[in-house]
Amino acid sequence: MPRALLLENIDPVAADLLGEAGYQVESLRGALDEADLVDALDGVDLLGIRSKTQVTAEVVRARPGLAAVGAFCIGTNQIDLAAAAAAGVAVFNAPYSNTRSVVEMAIAEIIILARRLVDRDRALHAGTWDKSAAGSHEIRGRTLGIVGYGNIGSQLSVLAEALGMRVLFYDLEDKLALGNAERCDSLEELLERAETVTLHVDGRAGNAGLFGAEQFARMRRRSLFLNLSRGFVVDHEALREHVLSGHIAGAAVDVFPEEPREQGDPFDSVLRGLPNVILTPHVGGSTQEAQHDIGRFVAGKLVDYTTTGTTTLSVNLPTVALHGSSAARFALLHRNVPGVLARVDALVGEHGLNVDGQVLATRGELGYAVTDVSAELPADLLAALRALPETVRLTTVGRRPR
């Protein structure tokens, strides 16, 4: 029976779907370090993780039987995608499922910071009645600057505008502005014009240290700042200094350079205790609705991959989807050199089979071909396909990955 290992408290719907597909599923609440992960993957075909488990090249090399990894989140920077691809391990994520959850949290925090509700809440809990409008503002008519105009940033743009905000955005790529949003030519331009700045960038290495003392200093005095993207993007010492000086009037931070691995672990940050600062434990996408949809979506991709060979929305393999059915199907991940498909088809013919359907796609140094044939696959054909010098991984689709 094929096995699946799900880490980091993934929504139970994922285990249900994988179980229905014939997998023996083990679910763990926490993340695993590299050594423990290698041990846990013994005999495992599918791995499901969120943001804290690191799937390194060493992990991939140590467990060649692993067929696929599901990142039950948006980002995949915790996975060595090149090493996974080279070993024939498909990687899938959920690029859209928690977009709305993050956007709603950003909107809520912008309002809370603008009204200084954090300080009002703390005062009242401490027994002090502080009924004052000092420093409290509506967000209508104020200017929001969005850094990163992808799925989350663009949807935030639409909702913020519906609440009466003016919207600016900056992105490295040329993105279509939605509604009345205005594109800025540089990050510096956005910082100088916006009254609230929110970060929604991806986890690429080039974004490390994107926002530091220089960027905070460029922001307008008494601005608001939010980071719901990646912890390593922001210099928290610089943010602390600018909050304490009064240059930044309030901040909301959901992600941190170092985060606890498991529920209940201790947490520390230089931002703790600052006035009008909201700290949340990486819960931007953690609504029940989003986690259920992520569990359903990624588990569905893993099942599709192992039962049909479909790699649609894989982040590291060529995209292939072969529709229809036949007596048998195999999927061949191979080095992208001329003539591989011709040799595959010749081998199929030599073993007395017809090709009923076939799709090939390439991505960089890899090619991926899914082939339907007219009868069951003989063992000697599979052996011949595996023996091709270009073969990275051969999978008989619908059976336990080999």
Q: Which residues are catalytic, by number?
A: 230, 259, 282
The strand pairing partners of 183, in sequence order, are 169
In whole angstroms, give the CA distance from residue 380 to residue 360: 23
Q: Which CA distances in Å does 328 have to 208, 279, 353, 366? A: 47, 53, 10, 23
CA distance 231 to 254: 8
Query: Measured between alpha carbons, how far is 370 from 360 in angstroms, rounded to an integer?
Result: 7
Q: Among all chains, which residue has been given the structure tokens 């948006």? A: 74
The gap between the terminal CA atoms of the chain, to the nearest Å, is 13
Decide if 29 contacts 263 (C-beta within 8 A). yes
Q: CB-based contacts of 185: which residues, under 8 Å, 6+ apart?
A: none
Q: Say if residue 332 is exposed, middle or buried (CB neighbours under 10 Å; 0-12, 13-18, 19+).
A: buried
- Please, are residues 336 and 367 in contact by the beta-carbon 8 Å criterion? yes
Structural contact between residues 48 and 4, judged by C-beta atoms closer than 8 angstroms:
yes
Q: DSSP states of 121-142 as a string?
A: HHHHHTT------TT---STTP
